[in-house]
Amino acid sequence: METPPPTQLERPRSVAEIIGEALDIYRRYPLLFLTLAFGVIVPYELAVLAATGEGPLATQNHRSAGVAILLFLLDYALVQPLISALQIHAVMQIGGGRRPQLAQVAAPGLRVLPEVAAAVIAAGLGIALGFLALILPGILLALRWSVVAQVAAVDHDGWLPSLRRSGELTRGNYLRIFGLLLLNGLLAGGVTLAAAAIPLGSTSGPASVALGIVARTLTASFTALALALLYFDLRARRSGIAVQPAPEEQPPHDGP
């Protein structure tokens, strides 16, 4: 099988370029990224279904506050960090010109999960306190620590250095990060709303549950892929790597 050409990961990108390159990588390796997210989301969603009787597309208005908070914490502290850890290792293999294999991606992703989860939980606590204070500090902290999972997965330095490093990388880029997160949120919301609009009967029925898992898999995997590319974009900007202009075409040489 032909080895794919390496992808230059560490280079500055606009928000549009991050989304475009994420779509391109997704198109090249759809089965890999879907499988990585699917393997995390299916057990979680089936556990939620067993515990609450609700599928992924069910409205959550009637859930008790305790159940809603518990499910949010499980999702935030385990599901999202694991998907992020798995996918950034896949992206790193693609950047090295290797064809990523599921086993080679899953092993390092699972090894760093405790560090990634610890960093994400610490960031989540800080963001929550920021929102409780005046809302604006919570938004700023969410932008500051937007790539903390990716930093923890790559650097392996522990949760506190990961928080510091994420803050260093994101400094001066809050507007771009906000634009990317907003665009990702709109895309994910659109996919979820489109799936929920399909009449499949009860939201806890097999068809609705299956559709909800597919929708969640698509949105979670693409968001994690876009954040992985954001991480490398921020690293490039922090290192001072400039955008390389395309070489100008030389005019033909007629003679000596």
pLDDT digits 0-9 by tens, 126-162: 988 888 877 788 899 999 999 999 999 998 888 999 9
More confident residue, 111 or 218: 218
Please state, rounded to an integer, the average pLDDT across all residues of the chain.
Answer: 85
Whether 9 is in a domain gets the answer: no
Phi-psi region of 160 (alpha: psi -120 to 50; beta: other; left: phi over 0): alpha
Which residue range is the domain that position 166 belongs to? Answer: 15-237
Q: What is the pLDDT of residue 256?
A: 40
**Nearest-angstrom CA–CA distance, 177 and 226:** 11
Q: Give yes or no for a contact between 36 and 82, defined as CB atoms under 8 angstroms apart.
A: no
Whether 148 is in a domain gets the answer: yes
DSSP string of 239-250?
HTPPPPPPPPPP
More confident residue, 244 or 229: 229
Residue 247, burial from CB neighbour count under 10 angstroms (0-12, 13-18, 19+): exposed
Q: Is the pLDDT of residue 251 over 80?
A: no
Q: Is the pLDDT of residue 253 over 50?
A: no
Whether 123 is in a domain gets the answer: yes
**Nearest-angstrom CA–CA distance, 7 and 33:** 16
Q: Is the pLDDT of residue 20 over 90?
A: yes
Label residue 243 by pLDDT band (50, 70, 90).
low
- What pTM did the predictor assign? 0.85
DSSP string of 1-60?
-PPPPPP--SS---HHHHHHHHHHHHHHSHHHHHHHHHHHHHHHHHHHHHHHS--TTS--
Q: What is the pLDDT of residue 170?
A: 96
Angle between helices 206-239 and 30-52 (to 10 degrees): 130
Label residue 78 by pLDDT band (50, 70, 90).
confident
**Nearest-angstrom CA–CA distance, 164 and 119:** 10
Six token digits for residue 215: 């929708």
Share of the chain above pLDDT 70, in %: 89
Number of domains making up the chain: 1
Six token digits for residue 102: 């599921």
Within 8 A by CB and 6+ apart from 20, the residues are none
Closest of 53, 81, 78, 80 to residue 67, by C-alpha: 53
**pLDDT tens string 44-57:** 999 888 888 888 88
φ, ψ of residue 84 to 5 degrees: the values are -60, -45
**Nearest-angstrom CA–CA distance, 186 and 75:** 19
Whether 224 is in a domain gets the answer: yes
3-state helix, strand, coil split of the chain in percent (to 5) is 75, 0, 25
Whether 70 is in a domain gets the answer: yes
